[in-house]
Structure 1
Amino acid sequence: MKKSVIWGLGVLVLCLMGVSVYLGYFIHMKFGNEKEKEIPKEKVMQDLEVIPSPKVNIQDETTTKEAPLTFSNLVPEQTIKSPVSIVGEAPGRYFFEGSFPVMVVDAHGKVIGDGIATAQGDWMTEKMVPFHTDIQFEWKPIGMGEEPLPPTGFLIFQKDNPSDMRENDEEYRVPITFQESEDEKSVPSSKEEREKDGCVISGCSAQVCSDEKVLTDCMYKEEYICFQKALCERQRNGKCEWTMSKDISACVAQF
């Protein structure tokens, strides 16, 4: 009986020792290895490869592109009169069959003249090609109502595009100022300043020059714009009438 008890206790002790050894090994393998694998933060930062950020050249991104056309006798805001002769250089892509179109527009965007720029050398190249053009235009300082048309506009140099595909369109605009004629400079713009010798400007569109105010219907006619810078004064016949200068007469003749 005593031997059985002793053997039983021995087996129990051995089992407990085995379990203890197993648990110790398990704990060491699970938690001990993790501590060994843990790398100090400072070491990680030292081992990391530092890749410098690319520098952004702000000046390169904001630099204005060079003008595609250059001119020998034209600068922005230059005052011109008809006919105007222009000499310059344009990229070969602007030309087709050795030429490209040029337009003159007024402050309202209305085309008042056009011409053709002709290559003065080999145009089948990507390089700059010399060109020359002569353009005639007719600018009229007459706007709608009491507001005169400002003497400003644009010269538009258009890439010749025989394909008519919009993605191939290209143009270069140069702002210009139109030279007023002596007649235009001498005529004041306000209605009161244009009334001379007791004459009166009246009518719905300020189209009547008379000795007194005249009531009219308000049906508008395009030729009325011609009188927006005309003088209303007493003529040789003693009547109050519009003074028909060369420019006013040419304007009326259009309608």
Structure 2
Amino acid sequence: MNTQRIIVLFKYLCITIFCGVMLFIGYQYTIEYFDYRSSSPVDISVLDSAAVDSPEVSEDVEQLISLQKDLIRVVAPEAGSTISSPLTVRGIARGTWFFEGTFPIILVDWDGLILAESYASFVPDPNDPESTWMTEDFVDFEGTIDFDVPTETLGVSTKGTIIFKKDNPSGLSEHDAALEIPIVFGS
């Protein structure tokens, strides 16, 4: 009877170890970004290589930026450009990108560590006193981010990303959107 228990326990132990090894080897956490026009997944692995390996912006990163061009367009800074503090961001975005005339901008290093957070604000048209952010049309925005320039570690921390987040007061994930612009930190 003792031998049978040992054999059964050994079988369960082997099965548990086998399942654990298979999960460890086969499990990969992925986030899929979708092209909202075609409902097809977009490969974003190029963002990591563009942000870490080189200051050049790959075609795939440019494609991801162009996917958002119907919602937000950043004029400054351009993707792959060298930035310093304080950084002024400018562009145009649909009024639906804002809430109460602002939306968050976040600066992260190559590893995703948040270096600074700020807000971009609606800039009224000086030629139109009735201009408002409460529209579905494009409106101007501008914002400033103050940050400490990260020190270089193994040659990679000079890369980073500026994230332009759609303001989502509802908190519902289906209303989330963001545009990520890869940058290089200057001195």
Shorter-chain TM-score tier: 0.5 to 0.7
Shift in Å at residue 149 of structure 1? 3.9
2:183 pairs with one of 169, 172, 176:
176
What is the one-letter code of the residue matched to 2:75? S
1:71 pairs with one of 63, 69, 74:
74
For the 8 Å contact 1:151–1:179, the answer to whether it is kept is: yes
* Residue in structure 2 matched with residue 159 of structure 1 by the alignment: 166
Root mean square deviation, CA, Å = 2.2
For the 8 Å contact 2:150–2:185, the answer to whether it is kept is: no
Shift in Å at residue 164 of structure 1? 1.0
What is the one-letter code of the residue matched to 1:65? L
Aligned-pair identity (%): 32
What is the one-letter code of the residue matched to 2:144? D
For the 8 Å contact 1:158–1:172, the answer to whether it is kept is: yes
What is the one-letter code of the residue matched to 1:127? D
Shift in Å at residue 166 of structure 1? 1.0
What SS class does the counterpart of residue 72 from structure 1 fall into? strand
- Matches of 1:177 and 1:162 in 2, distance apart? 31
2:150 pairs with one of 137, 140, 143:
140
- Matches of 1:141 and 1:92 in 2, distance apart? 37
- Matches of 1:115 and 1:65 in 2, distance apart? 24
- Matches of 2:181 and 2:169 in 1, distance apart? 23
| TM-score (structure 1 length as normaliser) | 0.43
| TM-score (structure 2 length as normaliser) | 0.57
User: Unaligned regions of 5+ residues in structure 2, if any?
Assistant: 1-36, 41-62, 125-131
What SS class does the counterpart of residue 105 from structure 1 fall into? strand
CA distance 1:148–1:74, shift in 2 (3 Å)? closer
Q: Which has the higher contact order (CA 8 A, sep 6+)?
A: 2
User: Unaligned regions of 5+ residues in structure 1, if any?
Assistant: 1-59, 181-255
1:83 pairs with one of 81, 86, 92:
86
More strand by share: 2
What is the one-letter code of the residue matched to 2:118? G
- Matches of 1:78 and 1:142 in 2, distance apart? 17
For the 8 Å contact 2:68–2:179, the answer to whether it is kept is: no
- Matches of 1:117 and 1:123 in 2, distance apart? 12
- Matches of 1:161 and 1:90 in 2, distance apart? 14
* Residue in structure 2 matched with residue 130 of structure 1 by the alignment: 140
Answer with 1 or 2: which has the greater Rg: 1
What is the one-letter code of the residue matched to 2:167? D
